[in-house]
Homo-oligomer: A and B are copies of this chain.
Amino acid sequence: MLVVMQAHAKEEAIRAVCDKIEALGYRAHSIPGAERTAIGITGNRGEIEPGTLEEMPGVQEVIRVTKPYKLVSRDMKAENTVVSFPGTDATFGGPGLAIVAGPCAIESREQAFAVAERVHRAGAQFFRGGAYKPRTSPYAFQGLGEEALQIMADIRDQFGLKIVTEAIDNESLELLEEYADVVQIGARNMQNFSLLKRAGRSRKPVLLKRGMSATLEEFLMAAEYVMSEGNYNVILCERGVRTFADHTRNTLDLSLIPAVQRLSHLPIVVDPSHGTGKRNKVTPLSRAAVAVGADGLLIEVHCDPDKALSDGMQSLYPEQFEELMSQVRQIAPVVKRTVPGIGEHATTAASVRSRA
Smallest CB separation, A17 vs chain B (Å): 19
Q: Is A138 a contact of B251 with CB atoms below 8 Å?
A: no
Which residues 241-299 in A have Cβ within 8 Å of B in the complex?
A: 241-248, 251-259, 262, 275-276, 280-281, 284-285, 287-293
A225's partner among B44, B138, B192 (CB-CB below 8 A) is B138
Q: Is A44 a contact of B287 with CB atoms below 8 Å?
A: no
Q: Which one of A98-106, A328-336, A341-349 is at the interface?
A: A328-336
CA distance A287 to B287 in the complex (A): 10
Q: Is A44 a contact of B291 with CB atoms below 8 Å?
A: no
Q: Is A243 a contact of B243 with CB atoms below 8 Å?
A: yes
Q: Is A139 a contact of B43 with CB atoms below 8 Å?
A: yes
A288's partner among B43, B135, B254 (CB-CB below 8 A) is B254
Q: Is A256 a contact of B252 with CB atoms below 8 Å?
A: no
Q: Is B284 a contact of A257 with CB atoms below 8 Å?
A: yes
Interface membership of A109, Cβ < 8 A: no
Interface membership of A141, Cβ < 8 A: yes
CA distance A334 to B329 in the complex (A): 10
Q: Please, which residues of chain B bring their CB within 8 A of the CB of A224?
A: 137-138
Closest residue of chain B to A227 (Cβ to Cβ) is B138
Interface string of A125-143 (1 = CB under 8 A from B): 0000000001111111110
Interface string of A196-232 (1 = CB under 8 A from B): 0100000000000000110111100100110010000
Interface membership of A169, Cβ < 8 A: yes
Given contacts A192-B189, A244-B242, A246-B215, contact A254 B285 (CB under 8 A): yes
Interface membership of A108, Cβ < 8 A: no
Given contacts A44-B139, A288-B292, A291-B291, contact A215 B244 (CB under 8 A): yes
Q: Please, which residues of chain B bring their CB within 8 A of the CB of A191?
A: 134, 136, 188-189
Q: Please, which residues of chain B bring their CB within 8 A of the CB of A262?
A: 280
Closest residue of chain B to A186 (Cβ to Cβ) is B191
Q: Please, which residues of chain B bring their CB within 8 A of the CB of A134?
A: 191, 193
Q: Please, which residues of chain B bring their CB within 8 A of the CB of A290?
A: 291
Interface membership of A151, Cβ < 8 A: no
Interface membership of A52, Cβ < 8 A: no
Smallest CB separation, A317 vs chain B (Å): 17
Q: Is B241 a contact of A243 with CB atoms below 8 Å?
A: yes
Interface membership of A116, Cβ < 8 A: no
Interface membership of A168, Cβ < 8 A: yes
Closest residue of chain B to A168 (Cβ to Cβ) is B194
CA distance A69 to B291 in the complex (A): 33
Starting from the known contacts A241-B243, A330-B333, 7 additional A-B residue pairs (CB-CB under 8 Å) come to: A189-B192, A192-B192, A192-B195, A247-B259, A248-B255, A252-B253, A291-B291
